[in-house]
Amino acid sequence: MSNPYLQRRYLVSFASRQLPHIFTDILVLGGGAAGLRAAMESARYGRVILLTKDRPLESNTYYAQGGLAAVVDPGDSVDRHIADTLATGGGLSDEPVVRRCLTAVPEHIRQLRDWGMRFDANDDGSALRLGREGGHSAARIVHANGDATGRALEEFLLARARATEPLKIFDECFALDLLTDPPAGGPGATCVGVLTDHPRFGMQILRARKTILAAGGAGMLWRETSNPPGATADGIAMAFRAGAGLADLEMMQFHPTTLYVAGSTRSLISEAVRGEGAYLLDRDGVRFMQDYHEMGELAPRDVVSRAILDRMVQTGSNKVFLDVRHLGAERFAERFPSIDQQCRVFDIDPGVDLIPVHPAAHYMVGGVKVEFNGQTTLPGLLACGEAACTGLHGANRLASNSLTEALVFGQQAGETAGRALAQNGLDESPTTRHIDWTVQRSDRTELDLNDIRNSLRSMMWRNVGILRDGPRLAESIEIIQFWGRYIMDKEFSSPAWRHRPVDVLGGSAAGAGRDGWETQNMLTVAWLVAELALRRTETRGVHFRQDFPDTDPVWARHQVVRRTEHQLVVE
C-alpha cells in the first residue's frame, strides 16, 4: 500500500487550468521575527512580498515572553555563552555555527537600539537590565516591556517592515504548497514560488526567484502547547513535500511551565520567572528540583519538564506550582506584567497564591536543514527562524537563543537571497508554466476533521511527548498512517469545503478548507516526528526514550529526512 504522505499534491506543469499569477523577486513565508528581518534585508536588493496566513502579529514571536540572549555585559563573555549553548545542545550543536551566531548577536541588539527599539534598563538607566534563565551561567537575557519581549520585537519589526520599500505584506493568505520546476523529488528541481489561497481572492500563484521559508511553529501537534492556534507545522510540511531535507524533527522542546487551569488554553509562564527566584513546589508544598539537578529550578528545560512529570506521578497530581510569593506582589507585577494580568484573569494573586503549572510543547528545535547562509538542500529555497534547523540548538535549545537566532539567520537569509539577485540580474519575465492543482476525487470515507485533529494532538502528547518508548512510537506511526489514507487524499479547495462552518480548534475565517490543509500538514509532520523518534534509539537532549535511557555516542549525529518521488529517505 502506498504511503499517503509521500504523494505530491500540487505540481508545476503545462496544464489547461490557469490561475492568477503574481511575480516578485523574493517571497518570504512567515511574519515572525525571522521572516520580518529576512524581508527587510532582502528588500535592499529587489521587490519582496511577505506572506502571512493570519493577521500580522499572530506568530510565535509575538507570544514569546523570554528575551534575547546576548553578551552585552563586560563581565560576561561570548565564550561562556557558547559553552552554555553547547552544553545544552547535547552534542548535536554545530560549534562553528554557534560561534558565528552568538558572536553576531550583540551587534544585532545594538542595531535594534540604533533603529529606535527600547529595551528594559536598570532603574538609573545606566545599562540594560539583564535577566538569567535556565542553562545560562550568567545574566545575559535582554528584555523589552518586562515579559513581553516577543510582542515588543514583533511590533517594532512589523512597523519598520511596513515602512520599507519595495516590501509588500500579504496577510491572511494561506500557502498551500511550494512550487518546484521540474516536479519535486526529481532531478534538478528548483523552488519557484508558492501556491496560495485567500478567502477573498481565491487560488493564486506567487512566483519568485528566491523563496524564504520562515513559518516553522509546530506546537499544535501536541494537546498541551504554549503556541498560538496557527502553529500547525505548515512550513515544515511544505518543505518536505517539495523535496527539501529536514533535520532533527524528533527534537521538540517542551516548556516546563505553562499556566494550568482546567478548560482554558495554556499560556506561557516565562523561564525568567524562575530566573528571578521562583520555586517549583509539588502538591504537598515540597520544593523538589534540587533532587533532580544541581541547578535546581534553573536546570535545562528538558530536565525540569521530566522532573515535573515525575513529581506529578509521585504525588498523584495533574500539576505542580510556581511559588513567587517571596518576590512580592508589587515586584512581580512590575517585572512580569503580562503574566500577572493573566493569572488575575483566573483569580490567582501571585503575591498570595501559588501558580498552577504544567509542561507543554513549546519550540521545534529541528526543521528544514540549512547552511549558515540560510540555503536549504532545495535550490531556490532558503529558511530561517523556527522553520530552520541551523545547527545552533542541537538536541535542546538554550533559553532565549531563539529570538537571537531569528534575527541573525533572518538577516543572513535575506542577504543571501538579495545578493543572488544582484549577481544574476533581475528577471522581469513571468513563468510560462501554470499549475495543475486538481486532485483525483477521493472515493474513501470522509472523516471528521475535528475528531482527527483532536485525536492526533492527544496521541502525540501521550506517545510522542516528553517521555517516549518504542512500542508507543510504532503504534503512533500506524495510527497516523491510517488517518492519512482518509485525510491526505482529500482536496479542500472546492466551494463545498471552503464554505463549511469552522468547528476545529484554531479555525479561521477562511473556512474549513484551510483547516483541512492544516490537518494534512499536522499529520505529515507528526508522522515524521514519530518516525525519527522511533529510529533514534537513545536519550539525548529533549528526546527521552524510556526504553533507551542512556546517551549513545553512536547517535552523536543528525537525522536528515527527505522524500523522493516514491520513498522516504533518512540519512
Residue positions annotated with a catalytic role = 301
DSSP of 343-398: HHHTT--TTTS-EEEEEEEEEE--EEE--TTSB-SSTTEEE-GGGEE-SSSTTSPP
Angle between helices 401-424 and 149-162 (to 10 degrees): 20
| 289 residue type, one letter | M
The C-alpha cell 541551523 sits at 390
In this structure, what are the phi and psi dihedrals at residue 481, rounded to the nearest 5 degrees?
-65, -40
| 327 residue type, one letter | L
Per the structure block, which three cell numbers stand in for 540?
Answer: 539525548
> Residue 237: enclosing H or E segment and its boundaries?
helix 234-242
CA distance 258 to 268: 4
CA distance 220 to 209: 31
In this structure, what are the phi and psi dihedrals at residue 440, rounded to the nearest 5 degrees?
-55, 135
Beta bridge partners of 191: 180
C-alpha neighbours within 13 Å on the C-beta side of residue 183: 14
CA distance 223 to 412: 34
Per the structure block, which three cell numbers stand in for 288?
Answer: 523538589
**Strand intervals (E) in 114-156:** 130-131, 141-142
